[in-house]
């Protein structure tokens, strides 16, 4: 194990997978976790073995990579528009659902025996039909093109970075529009249509707003949350359902990156041997949480350490009390696990005492 290295703490990982499975069971919803978070077949299999209905992916390439590891049901949370990707879906023995949000997208998929969900979006957002009228036109076009319209999908996670009353009201309003659109399309949907939404930040609101709609439609509500699996020490800890007291079993941060203290060039400044090549920084900087000085056991990091800047391979830590020494090891927790996992082809699964159990391989 050469430094820096990424660790996944097995007790926290196991807890998160089981806690989310129990959450879905209690609330009567299905889970298709977005596995672009880890792209680690061993972790994805554990999620499926815990009861996940399918694996959500961002594109066909991710489905192909995971299908090679025996995973055979996918929800592509995007439009599929290239002949090569559509050909793979048509030929594979895996079940693959994907989105449509335009007449052109329907035209490109026409003639294939495909299962599609009409995607609903919002003004200024990402993909998805902007109005109920657009959604109906796309659904009608899909049916006429011979596609199997199996449901309606949406994504609310980027609507706001505000978990206060105004931000939550905005998300709830959009989810109600999604529900109304799905009910307006009832005549074009199968007997038990799929209704799907739910990123990692607001899936509790999705359950509250869309579960009654799914029940009226007679089909499942499918959540697509992915980051719960390792959780974080940043954006999801601060804004996710746990911050609202909506989880019976709060998630635990499972992902850490460890590096040595390389230099203490000033009394209150320490440089760690990790940087942008090793950790995420798009949704907040990492937080020093663990410390090992010399041959001592791992302890919580001293209070007051502030990681305030990253270079490609260095992290700047303000240490006002001057406790870090060259050669010490520091473990940081991250904000937004997706963009840490994608930097590693191998991570180490460790037990509660930081003893290695196994290696985790990713296939980005």
pLDDT in tens, 67-91: 999 999 999 999 999 999 999 999 9
The reported pTM is 0.96
The residues facing 260 across adjacent strands are 329
Range in 92-96, 162-166, 200-204 with the lowest mean pLDDT? 162-166
pLDDT band at 294 (very low <50, low <70, confident <90, very high): confident
pLDDT in tens, 180-204: 999 999 999 999 999 999 999 999 9
- Which residue spans of the chain are classified as CATH 3.20.20.10? 54-219
Class of domain 255-361: mainly beta
> Can you spell out the DSSP letters for 21-71?
HHHHHHHT-EE--BGGGT--HHHHHHHHHTT-S-EEESSHHHHHHHHTTT-
All CATH 2.40.37.20 domain ranges of the chain, comma separated, are 255-361
Mean pLDDT of 119-148: 97
Nearest alpha-carbon partner for 209 in 54, 89, 29: 29
Q: How far apart are CA 167 and CA 169, in angstroms?
A: 5
Q: What is the pLDDT of residue 320?
A: 93
Task: Check residue 1 and give its pLDDT.
Answer: 74
Mean pLDDT in residue range 147-168? 93
Hey, which CATH number is domain 54-219, 3.40.50.300, 3.40.50.720, 3.20.20.10, 3.40.50.150?
Answer: 3.20.20.10
Between CA 304 and CA 9 the distance in angstroms is 24
Which tens digit of pLDDT belongs to each residue from 206-254?
Answer: 999 999 999 999 999 999 999 999 999 999 999 999 999 999 999 999 9
- Spatial contact of 75 and 54, defined as CB atoms under 8 Å apart: yes
Q: How many CB atoms lie within 10 A of CB 353?
A: 7
Helix, strand, coil percentages, rounded to 5, for the chain: 35, 25, 40
**What value does the CA radius of gyration of the chain take, rounded to a whole number of Å?**
22
């Amino acid at each position: 194990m050469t430094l820096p290295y990424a660790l996944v703490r097995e007790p926290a990982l196991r807890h998160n997978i089981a806690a989310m499975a129990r959450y879905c069971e209690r609330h009567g919803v299905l889970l298709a976790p977005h596995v672009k978070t880890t792209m680690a077949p061993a972790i994805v299999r554990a999620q499926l073995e815990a009861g996940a209905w399918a694996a959500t992916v961002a594109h066909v390439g991710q489905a192909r990579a995971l299908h090679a590891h025996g995973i055979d049901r996918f929800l592509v949370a995007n439009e599929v528009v290239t002949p090569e990707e559509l050909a793979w879906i048509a030929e594979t023995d895996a079940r693959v659902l994907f989105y449509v949000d335009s007449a052109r997208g329907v035209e490109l998929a026409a003639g294939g025996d495909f299962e599609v969900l009409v995607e609903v979006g919002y003004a200024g957002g990402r993909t998805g039909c902007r109005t109920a009228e657009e959604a109906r036109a796309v659904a009608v076009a899909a049916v006429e093109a011979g596609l199997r319209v199996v449901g309606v999908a949406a994504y609310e996670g980027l609507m706001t970075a505000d978990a206060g009353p105004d931000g939550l009201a905005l998300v709830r309003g959009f989810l109600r529009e999604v529900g109304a659109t799905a009910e307006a399309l009832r005549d074009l949907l199968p007997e038990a249509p799929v209704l799907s939404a739910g990123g990692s930040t607001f899936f509790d609101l999705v359950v509250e707003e869309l579960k009654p709609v799914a029940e009226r439609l007679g089909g499942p509500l499918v959540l697509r949350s992915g980051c719960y699996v390792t959780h974080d020490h940043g954006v999801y800890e601060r804004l996710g359902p746990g911050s609202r007291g909506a989880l019976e079993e709060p998630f635990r941060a499972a992902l850490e990156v460890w590096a040595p203290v390389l230099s203490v060039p000033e009394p209150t400044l320490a440089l760690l041997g990790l940087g942008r090549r090793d950790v995420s920084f798009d949704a907040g900087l990492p937080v020093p949480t663990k410390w090992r000085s010399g041959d001592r056991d791992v302890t919580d990091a001293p209070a007051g350490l502030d990681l305030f800047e990253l270079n490609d391979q260095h992290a700047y830590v303000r240490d006002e009390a001057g406790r870090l020494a060259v050669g010490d090891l520091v473990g940081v927790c991250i904000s937004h696990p997706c963009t840490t996992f994608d930097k590693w082809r191998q991570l180490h699964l460790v037990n509660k005492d930081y003893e290695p159990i196994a290696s985790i391989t990713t296939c980005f």
